[in-house]
Amino acid sequence: MKIIDLNKETINDITSALLKRSPSQYTEYENTVNSILADIREKGDEALFEYTAKFDGFTLTPENITVTKKEIEDAYAELDPEYIEVIKKAAENIRDFHSKQLRNSWFETKPDGSLLGMKITALEKVGVYVPGGKAAYPSSVLMNIVPAKVAGVDKIYMCTPPGKTGKINAGTLVAADIAGADVIFKAGGAQAIGAMAFGTECIPKVDKITGPGNIFVALAKKAVYGFVSIDSIAGPSEVMVLADETANPHYVAADLLSQAEHDELASAILVTTDRSLADKVNAEIEEYLKTLSRADIIRKSLDNYGFALIASNINDAIDAVNTVASEHLEILTKDPFDTMTKIRNAGAIFLGEYSSEPLGDYFAGPNHILPTNGTARFFSPVNVDDYIKKSSVIYYSKEALKRDSKSIELFANNEGLTAHANSIHVRFENE
């Protein structure tokens, strides 16, 4: 990693570099994505089947597009039983954590006969996108579907690309079954996003689409937003470690590499008040790279987006953390709980040397679908609220409305909306 002194100029340079990885920057692919979406909207299954044959090499038909019970049973038989139990335990942890986020409708009545409230309703249909091939992550299946089930979504449809033989990754199918997917479709890419957004003969239109994907999937989600809701437009993975002289460089290096191995655009940043720690971390990284299977990817990731920022004091270090607003933040300081109180912007916060980032990726329970590219300043992790909607409820008695009628009419007339004012006025025009 490049070791640099932290100052206003260096942090601005780094945040600018990180923002360039956002899917919104890849405008050269937008025409392709928009063309695919237009075809899906116009031709439905015909276009979906054509794109699946073109991109995935599999001939889809109405008869084989839906994953069968037998295929799910075969997936269970293919996996190590111990791994299946781990998936089940992870799903249980995720379910328990997200169950604590549930909200209740509420209503408040007043002596004048008026009633105000908020009605909480789960979304009716949600579509979950799951990448295929080498990027098959059963953990992400759990993180998308389990909160939706907890929220009470009626129907969860999952789309994932088939292999050339029509086979779906066994771990993906088992995780989807354990999490509670209602129907699984063999469809991937921007064409699957279009199918869920607009509906085809085989794939129903949904209310919201969640889940990660490549640049084409990300841009497709961006393009269909408004026709449906989406969770976010996810960028490459990020980890930031905030550490002082008490941190263990062996652990710090391991944690930075755990995200750098995702892809060449992943970022891994150490912010520390101890320059010697940065030197030790770099030495540890070189040792790890001798044995890690994705060492080539890690090296390119660190060459492009790996930094060790040396801050003159802990407050400057914390300011840098809040400026970058990283997806994952590990705090390895003498008192991580106290440090955490000063953090405003981070997708997920991991405290202490035994709370490394992969704990959140797989098992602890909080969601690992997190805001990236600095959007932790205003976005949250995926949670139960992503799968509900709220409706305001208003009831006024005649007496309550009469009391406020003149105020409402005055407001409406001052905005030049006389029909608004009239809607109130006519109810008392004979009094």
Active-site residue list:
327-328
**Rounded Cα gap, residues 246 and 26, in angstroms:** 41
Residue 258 CB neighbour total at 10 angstroms: 21
Nearest residue to 184 via CA among 44, 70, 26, 320: 70
Q: Report d(CA 256, CA 260) in Å as an integer.
A: 6
Using alpha carbons only, what angle is made at residue 355 by residues 349 and 357, rounded to the nearest 5 degrees? 65
The CA-CA-CA angle for residues 75, 78, 79, to 5°, reads 95
CA dist 130 → 213, 242, 340 (Å) = 7, 32, 33
d(CA 48, CA 30): 18
Contact 306, 298 (CB under 8 A): no
Both structure tokens of 314: 């802990």
The Cβ-side half-sphere exposure at 230, using a 13 Å CA radius, reads: 23
- Angle at CA 311, nearest 5°, toward 2 and 271? 55
Distance CA 12, CA 201 (A): 49
The token pair at 431 is 């009094």
- Tell me whether residue 204 is exposed, middle or buried, using C-beta atoms within 10 angstroms of its C-beta: 0 to 12, 13 to 18, 19 or more: middle
Q: Is 63 exposed, middle or buried (0-12, 13-18, 19+ CB in 10 A)?
A: exposed
With H, G, I as helix, E, B as strand and everything else as coil, classify residue 423.
helix
Phi, psi of 351 (to 5 degrees): -110, 125
